[in-house]
Structure 1
Amino acid sequence: MKVKFLGNKPETKKEKKKKSFLREWGDAILFAVIAASLIRWATFEAYTIPTPSMEKSLLVGDFLFVSKLHYGPRTPMTPLQIPLTHQVIWGTDIPAYSDAIQLKSYRLPGFSEVKRFDVVVFNHPVEDQYPADLRTNFIKRCIGLPGDSLQVKDMQVYIDGKPIDNPGKMQYKYAIVPKIQLKDKFFQDRHINLKDIYPFKGGYAVDATPELAAEIKQLPIIKDVMLLKELPGEADPRVFPQVPSKYVWNKDNYGPIYIPEEGATVAITPASLPFYEKVILDYEHNEGYTVKDGKLYKDGQEVHQYTFKQDYYFMMGDNRHNSEDSRFWGYVPKDHIVGKAVLIWMSVNPEGSGFGKIRWDRLFNIIE
C-alpha cells in the first residue's frame, strides 16, 4: 500500500560539512596561540639570563620561569601587538607592535607584594624608544622598598642606617696577578666567565666571590689578588642622578637616597629635583609639568612639592661590579614590574660542549 504525505515534506538532517585539513590545523594553531598568550600574560613566562649581572646566583644560560601570579599580572598597555612577541618579529628588526593605541595599565590582584631580596623581572625604565610594557626585560634583586632610605658604604648596603644581609653568592671585581701566564682552563675550572676577563696591570680582572678570590690567592702560582673597589670621594658621572658636581658618588659608595612611596610628598628644590625629575615627567603620566633652570613648573607656575602616584623600587645585581642597575639609572616604577623569578628549569653553559653544555645540577632549582 502506498502512503502519500500531505503538506510539507518532512525535514531531513543535513550532513555537517567536514573541515578541510588546512582549516583544522588553522583552528588548532589559533587556539594554541590564544591559550599560550593567556598563560604567558596571566601565570608564568619563560625567560633566559643573557648577562652575568646576577652571578653567581643566576648564570648566563639559565632558563627561568617567572611568576605573574605573585605580584599580579598587568593589563596590556600596548594592545596592538603580534602574539608571543616582545619588541620585534622573530629573527627580524621589524617592530612587532604599533603604539597607535596606548592604554592605562592596571594590575590584577596577586598574592604577594614585592619583598626585599626578591629576584624580580621588570621593564628597563629608561628605555624611552619603546612603550613601557615592551621595554627590555631586566632581572635584578630588589634591595630597596618604597619609603626606604638607601646608602652604600664601602660596598655594603644600608637601609635606614642599618646594614642589610648580602646575597650568599655575591661577586665583586678582582685583579689576579699570576707568576705565570694563565690558560683558559684555569678560569673555566673555577667557573669564571672567559668573556668577562680583561687584562689589568700585568694580570687579569675577573668577577669572583670573596671565597673564590681568597682560594685563588693561596695558590703557589699566584703573586697577588686585589679587590678592585672604588673609594669614597671618587665621583663617577655615570651613577644616578648623574650630577657629580653635587653628589660625589660611585657604585661602591652611594647615597643616601630616598625611594619614593605612593602618597608620600617631597620638597622640590634644585638639590632634590634631579632625583625626581624623570619620575614626575615620565613615569607618573603627568601633563603640564616642565623643568627649567633647575626648577619644576606646572602650567607655568613653579612647584615646590610633589606627591607620588605609585611605589618605586631600587634594584641591584648580585654581581655588584658588573651590573647595570638602579645605581646607574634610578628607581623602578611599580607599573614596570613584570613578575618574580621562581624556578630554573634549564641551564646551558655557553662555553661547554656536548652533554657538558647542560648544567645538570641547576635543573629545577628554586630561585632564592
Structure 2
Amino acid sequence: MNWKFRQKDKESLSTQPTQPKKKKTKSREWFDAIVFAVIAATVIRVFFIEAYTIPTESMEKSLLVGDFLFVSKVNYGARIPMTPVAFPFAHHTMPVTGTKAYYDGIQWKYRRLPGIQDIKRNDVVVFNFPEGDTVALEVQDRDYYGLVRALGHEAVNTQYTVTSRPVDKRENYIKRCIGISGDVMSMSNGLVSVNGKPEPMKSTGQMDYLVKFKSADVNFQLFEDMGFVIAKQITAVSQDTYNFNATPELMAEVKKLDFVSSVTMHTAAPGAAEPDLFPQNPQLKWNVDNWGPVRIPKKGWTVKLDSLSMPFYKRCIEIYEGNKLEKSGNGWLINGQKADSYTFKMNYYWMMGDNRHNSLDSRYWGFVPEDHVVGKALFIWMSYNTDGSFFSKIRWSRLFKGIH
C-alpha cells in the first residue's frame, strides 16, 4: 500500500506543468547582442586583424593619403594588451570628451603570441611611435622631444599640457622595415646600404630630382598624363628648372623626353649637419641623405658602454628596456650596479618612409623596439581622395590591392 501511494504521488508530481522560462525583454535582447558584438569585435581587433588609415604622405607612392588598410596581428604574433582596461574601439583618446580612453593603473608585461613569420626587410609595418611616451596634448602632431630641442624643456612644459602614454597607447605609425635586428645601416647620397650592400629603392620609393628643361615653355599636361600631380610633385626652382618628387622608374621616363636637358637626384650635401637627426649629435655631421653606420640592436647582443655608443643606445637601455641608467664619473650605473657593457633583451628595427624626403622616421627617432610592433599591413580595402563627387573620389583601382 505504501509503495502504491508513493508511486501515485510520484506520477502526480510528474504530471504537474513545468514553469515556463521567463522571456527576455526586447531591451535585454538588444543589450546582450551589443555586448556580444563588442566582445567579438574587440577579440578580432586585438588578436587577428585591425583597420588602419593612412594619414600622411610619408609612404607615397606605395600608400596614399585616404587609403584604408587591414593590418594583420597574426603574421608577427598578436601582442597581448599591455593596458588591458580601455574603452572599446578608442585608441588613446575618447572621441567626444577628449579624455583618456584607458586606465593605466593596471599594466601587463610585454608578451606576444607565436606568429607565422618574423619581420623581414621591406615589410610594411604598423607600430607604436617610439618617442610617443611623452606627448604635448595641444600639439599631438608634433614630436615632444623635437619641441623640447626647439623651445626648451621649461617652455614646453609651461605652454602645453604634457602627459605620458603606455607603449600600446602611443600613436600608430606605418613605415617600411629597412633594417632588422643586427643589421648595420648607412646612407650615402640618398642610397641606403644594409650591411655594406647598397639597396636601391624599389618602384614604390620616391626621391626629389632636379629637372632642367631646354626651354621655359613646357606643356605640363604631359606630366599629368604620366601620373604626376602638378604643384604637389612638381614645383618650380627657377625659370627652366623644377623639382620632381617621384620614383626612379618614372624619372627614367622623364629623362627620355626630348625637351629635358638633365635629370639629377636632389640630395643634401655630405657634411651638411641636421641637428634633429638621430642621435641628435651635430658633431657627426649627418643629414637625411648621408648618415651612418648604425648597428641595430639585437636580442642577446652586448654593446660596450662608452661615449661613442651611449648616444645611440641610451634610450633603448633606459626607456625601452626599463633600466635605471646613471652617469658615474667616467662610467655608468645600471640599476645601481657599475656596468661597462649591456646585453639587449629585445630585437629592434629600422623603419623608413618610401617618400624619403617627406617622412619622419628612424632617421629622426632611431630604433623601433619589438614590443612597439602592432602588425603587418596586408591590403587596401578602401581608398578615396578629396576631389570630385562621391563615386569619383573612390580610387577604384586600389580597392583590395595587396601591399608590397
Per the normalisation by structure 1, the TM-score is: 0.89
The answer to whether residue 301 in structure 2 is matched with residue 264 in structure 1 is yes
Query: What residue number does 1:304 align with?
Result: 340
Contact persistence 2:270–2:286 (CA under 8 A): yes
Instruction: Give the residue type in structure 1 aligned to 2:32.
Output: D
In structure 1, how many angstroms separate the alpha carbons of the residues matched to 2:331 and 2:397? 55
Cα RMSD of the aligned pairs, angstroms, is 2.9
Query: What residue number does 2:403 align with?
Result: 367
In structure 1, how many angstroms separate the alpha carbons of the residues matched to 2:180 and 2:49? 24
Per the TM alignment, residue 142 of structure 1 is displaced from its structure 2 partner at its CA by 0.7
Determine helix, strand or coil for the equivalent of 1:313.
Answer: strand
Determine helix, strand or coil for the equivalent of 1:127.
Answer: helix
Instruction: Give the residue type in structure 2 aligned to 1:318.
Output: D
Q: How many residues align?
A: 364
Moved more, 24-33 or 83-92: 83-92
The answer to whether residue 359 in structure 2 is matched with residue 323 in structure 1 is yes
The unaligned stretches of length 5 or more in structure 2 are 1-7, 135-164
Contact persistence 2:203–2:247 (CA under 8 A): no
Contact persistence 2:228–2:234 (CA under 8 A): no
Instruction: Give the residue type in structure 2 aligned to 1:168.
Output: S
The answer to whether residue 386 in structure 2 is matched with residue 345 in structure 1 is no
Per the TM alignment, residue 167 of structure 1 is displaced from its structure 2 partner at its CA by 2.2
Q: Deviations over 1:287-325 (max 9, x none)?
A: x32247885322455421100001000011111111111
The answer to whether residue 37 in structure 2 is matched with residue 37 in structure 1 is no
In structure 2, how many angstroms separate the alpha carbons of the residues matched to 1:134 and 1:293? 37
Per the normalisation by structure 2, the TM-score is: 0.81
1:149 aligns with one of 184, 188, 193:
184
Percent of aligned pairs with the same residue? Answer: 48
The higher radius of gyration belongs to: 2
2:273 aligns with one of 204, 217, 235:
235
Contact persistence 1:192–1:208 (CA under 8 A): no
Question: Counterparts of 1:1-368 in structure 2 under 5 Å?
Answer: 11-129=16-134, 130-175=165-210, 179=216, 190-192=227-229, 200=237, 205-216=243-254, 226-245=264-283, 247-286=284-323, 288-291=324-327, 295-368=331-404
In structure 1, how many angstroms separate the alpha carbons of the residues matched to 2:331 and 2:232? 44
Per the TM alignment, residue 174 of structure 1 is displaced from its structure 2 partner at its CA by 3.4
Q: Deviations over 1:326-351 (max 9, x none)?
A: 11100000011111111111111234
Structure 1's 103 and 25: CA in aligned 2 closer, same or farther, altered over 3 A? Answer: same
The unaligned stretches of length 5 or more in structure 1 are none
Structure 1's 4 and 113: CA in aligned 2 closer, same or farther, altered over 3 A? Answer: closer
Contact persistence 2:52–2:68 (CA under 8 A): yes
Contact persistence 2:235–2:242 (CA under 8 A): yes
Structure 1's 185 and 353: CA in aligned 2 closer, same or farther, altered over 3 A? Answer: farther
Determine helix, strand or coil for the equivalent of 1:31.
Answer: helix
Contact persistence 1:259–1:312 (CA under 8 A): yes
Determine helix, strand or coil for the equivalent of 2:17.
Answer: coil
In structure 2, how many angstroms separate the alpha carbons of the residues matched to 1:87 and 1:309? 27
